[in-house]
Structure 1
Amino acid sequence: MTAWAGRTAVEISRAVRRGEVTPRQVVAEHLARIAGDDGRVGAFRVVRAGAALAEADAVGARSDLARLPLAGVPVAVKDNVPVRGESTRNGSAATSQAPAAEDHVTVARLRAAGAVVVGLTHVPELCVFGTTDGVHGIARNPWDPTRTAGGSSGGSAAAVAAGFVPLALGNDGMGSLRIPAAHCGLIGLKPGTGRVPRDLGGGWYGMSENGPLATTVADARLMFSVLAGEPAEICEAEEPAPPSAPGGGETSRTGTAPGPRSRSGAAVADGGWETGSGLRIAFSTRSPIAGVRVGAPYAALAREAARALSGAGHAVAIAHPPYPLSFGIVVLAHWTGGTAQDAEGLDPRLLAPRTRRHAAIGRAAGRLGMLRPARKEALNRRLEPFFEAYDVLVTPALARPGPAADAWHERGWLANVLANTACSPMTPPWNLSGRPALSVPFGSLPTGLPGAVQLVGRPGAEHQLLDVAAQLEHLRPWERTAPSVGASVGRS
């Protein structure tokens, strides 16, 4: 490992602010790692080597360098988010090759915070499917390059898991951040409605949200704060304080007086977590989609995470959200309807057959009145009593292993839909309802690949979810990046 490639965003930005390393040195080392290994991973469609080095020099010359929360941090951007001077291809041959005139507001916020955009990452065509492959390339899981990195933010997840960048920007309309994060052993946070600027075409009927991919909770929190336009806490300490149990209790396990507070309001004790007032946590392995079952290893990991949180002082109970029996049909209508929005104005002859079929079904769903806002309102009315009773929901992040890294865009529509639905039925409810949700690494699967669980909260509870994720990170630390590219490896 080189001196800075593979470090966290918190470590890099702190060192840059202190003058221990220049942004150019940091970016150059990450570009060298990309050049050496991305041929086997397939994370990037575009690597902005020369432009990124010039941007790094500009960051190093800024008069406010000491106040930049992401000073000199290399980031990757999903290829459906405009980056000034680069084309936004959205995984398709049908999109324009013209460079974007302006940065998307999220990219502008990252750059204003001192981040350097090193490249644009692969996505499936129009970001439709849970495998990242298409005319521009295939994104592979760095833990096992024979498996998909997931989708649709698969290129971004692969870039972070391989150590090419510490942070990447993605978005999530049906699980497109959480699914690849779960496959690749990362934190993937889908913010709730309105927390981060969206402005992504049609926005999949309000379901799609921009958010961070990171290897640590601290990095994910830092990037989320920047994206949300919040004051980002700049950490200059060498070691972070232990995480607290979110809930606001005043008596620590060690008996010390209340200390500094986490972003959710819980006091951080020097020797442990606050246990005087833990959260009410629901645990469920029930699939939201009728007929789709969660595999035993994935349910077992979620059950283990629930036990760990119970041991940390939370009140944990088995409780299932009241998913409607028709939810699978509602999901399919909105999934295809979002694609129909994004395909408007594109030459259908240049779209893959699976994308054309998806968009055609979405247009039919719109004509049949299946995409009215009342669907989202009805789901939220059903869910409100559940989230009045519980602060956080813990579920499996996935239900099945990720499909092979292959040319799924050349296969039929039904084969893609069935493979995606069997693998990841747990994520869509929280897009349609607009609630925040994140995937957090937890344990290992029998294959040796990273395990993961999903946390779901109330509107505005992003920092509370990150606090719970920080507890899991403390209880079951994970390897942040794949130790090698080219072979499947496990984690302890």
Structure 2
Amino acid sequence: MNGPAQDIAHLVRSGRRSALAVLEAALSRVRERDARYNCFTAVTEGRARQEAAAIDARRARGEPLPPLAGVPYAVKNLFDIADEVTLAGGKVNASNPPARRDARLVERMREAGAVLVGALNMDEHAYGFTTENSHYGACRNPHDPSRIAGGSSGGSAAAVAGGLVPLALGSDTNGSIRVPASLCGVFGLKPTYGRLSRAGSFPFVGSLDHLGPFAASAADLAAAYDALQGPDPDDVACAQRAAEPVLPALDEGPRRLRVAVLGGYFSEWAGPQARRAVEIAASALGAVASVELRGAAQARAAAFVITAAEGGALHRRRLVTHYDYYEPLSRDRLVAGSLVPAAWTQHAQRIRHRVYREALALFEDYDVLIAPATPVPATPIGADWLELAGKRMPARASMGILTQPVSCIGLPVCTAPIWPGTGQDGHLPLGVQLIGAPWREADCLRAALALEQAGVARTLPL
């Protein structure tokens, strides 16, 4: 049970291919394809060659190599990369001094032997679901470059989908890993809130921010996740939890999981392709029961309030002095958020806790809950509206309608790419959320692996 990243690492460890040769092939793909996709905002070519050469030198000395030896990867440009400016998608950050050290998760990827190729496009300050960045250009969906890649980690998902790198890192506050994974047809993992360190990443909403990986297979996703785990005193939310590797458990095969479909809200706000994707996944996993998270709509409303208030507070001062530098698609929302009364956020946090307890009750009977990740497949770049549940909805905000309730309560989710193949968007993927109980990322990944082994979930090569 391997994926592209693990195959690369195996070849490098065995000496059948050098890390430098792997890197040169990746850089060639970036040069050939990225003008079409616009995933990268920086290519760290010099650093990458040093990291690859270090791996080859270790092998030449007969040293054992780490699990991701020689595997190229890239990160959303809100991760600190030593000696690079951390843009977080914003023009307003371009004059900041370069980062003095790598983000914690970049450090862990380097320790695992992975080779950093560059930084990736995103919605400014992670406030968006489409990666239509006004400063650095829209990131385009590799399966149809006239469509969005999703966001805010659009560059991360598109770089994996387009075959530029086998692994990428992104962030998810309200759906920013799951939405682009769904629209680009790759695997993505939003871990439990507090599972992975956020130290050295540009924040958006401290109460909701998660970091996680993208990959072209469930096994590669698990391998990347294992490399990233571990407590970190520099992130108070990640200070205690010990690492719990999941890849060995996947190698043993997926145990029998108790799976149900999340209906109600998650069916009401799903288009026909999204409902079909859930049917395909449910059939493959033997899920016949349907359950409801009755507080889902309230959880989404709470996420909006918390996002607005914390995001607005973070940017308030620079909005006053540098308003024109900010992304037109998000700056007015940040201004409005800075005016949200404290009582609203307190009430939103109470709702969040209540819905969390409601979700825990569902996991007394089930291990994994299935829901669509996005209501529709990727929309055309520049689209302002979409039709959903008989209503005309704002296209950009509505892409997160099914992910926000879940991230608000901090549950782990693996997005698995399904190809519903219906309607005029039949050439496009649409992912499902495989939602687990807190700290049960292993169950989410087991379900994703089962779908992959059944031929239901897959990343199509380009």
Measured against the shorter chain, the TM-score band is 0.7 to 0.9
For the pair 1:469 / 2:448, whether they are aligned, the reply is: yes
Candidates 440, 445, 450, aligned match of 2:421:
445
Report SS of the residue matched to 2:194. Answer: coil
Deviations 1:17-40 (CA, angstroms, capped at 9, x unpaired):
111111110001100010011001
User: Residue 171 of structure 1 aligns with which residue?
Assistant: 171
Q: Which deviates more, 349-358 or 182-191?
A: 349-358
> Any unmatched runs of 5+ in structure 2?
231-242, 385-391
Report SS of the residue matched to 1:365. Answer: coil
User: Residue 158 of structure 1 aligns with which residue?
Assistant: 158
Shift of 1:233: 8.1
For the pair 1:287 / 2:287, whether they are aligned, the reply is: no
For the pair 1:425 / 2:401, whether they are aligned, the reply is: yes
Report SS of the residue matched to 2:433. Answer: strand
For the pair 1:364 / 2:339, whether they are aligned, the reply is: yes
User: Residue 139 of structure 1 aligns with which residue?
Assistant: 139
Deviations 1:68-126 (CA, angstroms, capped at 9, x unpaired):
11101100110011011111111111114321101010000001111111010001111
> Any unmatched runs of 5+ in structure 1?
1-6, 235-260, 409-415, 484-492
User: Residue 37 of structure 1 aligns with which residue?
Assistant: 33
For the pair 1:18 / 2:19, whether they are aligned, the reply is: no
Q: How many angstroms apart in 2 are the aligned matches of 1:417 and 1:9? A: 39
Where in structure 2 are the equivalents of 1:109-258 lying within 5 Å? 109-134=108-133, 135-199=135-199, 200-202=201-203, 204-229=205-230, 230=243
* TM-score (norm: length of structure 2): 0.87
| Cα 1:283/1:478, change in 2 over 3 Å | closer
Q: How many angstroms apart in 2 are the aligned matches of 1:304 and 1:382? A: 27
Q: Which deviates more, 140-149 or 129-138?
A: 129-138
Matched letter for residue 293 of structure 2: P
Equivalent pair of 1:288/1:429 in contact (CA under 8 Å): no
Report SS of the residue matched to 1:189. Answer: strand
Candidates 273, 284, 306, aligned match of 1:334:
306
* TM-score (norm: length of structure 1): 0.81
For the pair 1:262 / 2:234, whether they are aligned, the reply is: no
For the pair 1:381 / 2:354, whether they are aligned, the reply is: no
Shift of 1:426: 1.1
Q: How many angstroms apart in 2 are the aligned matches of 1:48 and 1:93? A: 20
Matched letter for residue 183 of structure 2: H
Matched letter for residue 369 of structure 2: L
Deviations 1:152-209 (CA, angstroms, capped at 9, x unpaired):
0000111111111000010100110010000111111000022110234555142111
Deviations 1:420-449 (CA, angstroms, capped at 9, x unpaired):
333331111221111101210123332211
For the pair 1:302 / 2:256, whether they are aligned, the reply is: no
Shift of 1:288: 5.5
Equivalent pair of 1:392/1:456 in contact (CA under 8 Å): yes
Give the count of matched residue pairs.
429
Matched letter for residue 330 of structure 2: T
Q: How many angstroms apart in 2 are the aligned matches of 1:123 and 1:321? A: 30
Q: Which deviates more, 324-333 or 133-142?
A: 324-333
Matched letter for residue 9 of structure 1: A
Equivalent pair of 1:205/1:334 in contact (CA under 8 Å): no
Q: Which deviates more, 85-94 or 48-57?
A: 48-57
Q: How many angstroms apart in 2 are the aligned matches of 1:82 and 1:201? A: 8
| Cα 1:357/1:217, change in 2 over 3 Å | same
Shift of 1:453: 1.0
Shift of 1:324: 5.1
Equivalent pair of 1:131/1:403 in contact (CA under 8 Å): no
| Cα 1:202/1:233, change in 2 over 3 Å | closer
Deviations 1:374-398 (CA, angstroms, capped at 9, x unpaired):
3332221222212222211001111
Q: How many angstroms apart in 2 are the aligned matches of 1:188 and 1:168? A: 9
Report SS of the residue matched to 1:360. Answer: helix
Matched letter for residue 332 of structure 2: R
RMSD: 2.5
Q: How many angstroms apart in 1 are the aligned matches of 2:164 and 2:432? A: 24
Report SS of the residue matched to 2:280. Answer: helix
Q: How many angstroms apart in 1 are the aligned matches of 2:432 and 2:438? A: 19
Matched letter for residue 308 of structure 1: A
User: Residue 87 of structure 1 aligns with which residue?
Assistant: 85
| Cα 1:138/1:209, change in 2 over 3 Å | same
Report SS of the residue matched to 2:439. Answer: coil
As a proportion of its length, which structure holds more helix?
2
User: Residue 244 of structure 1 aligns with which residue?
Assistant: none
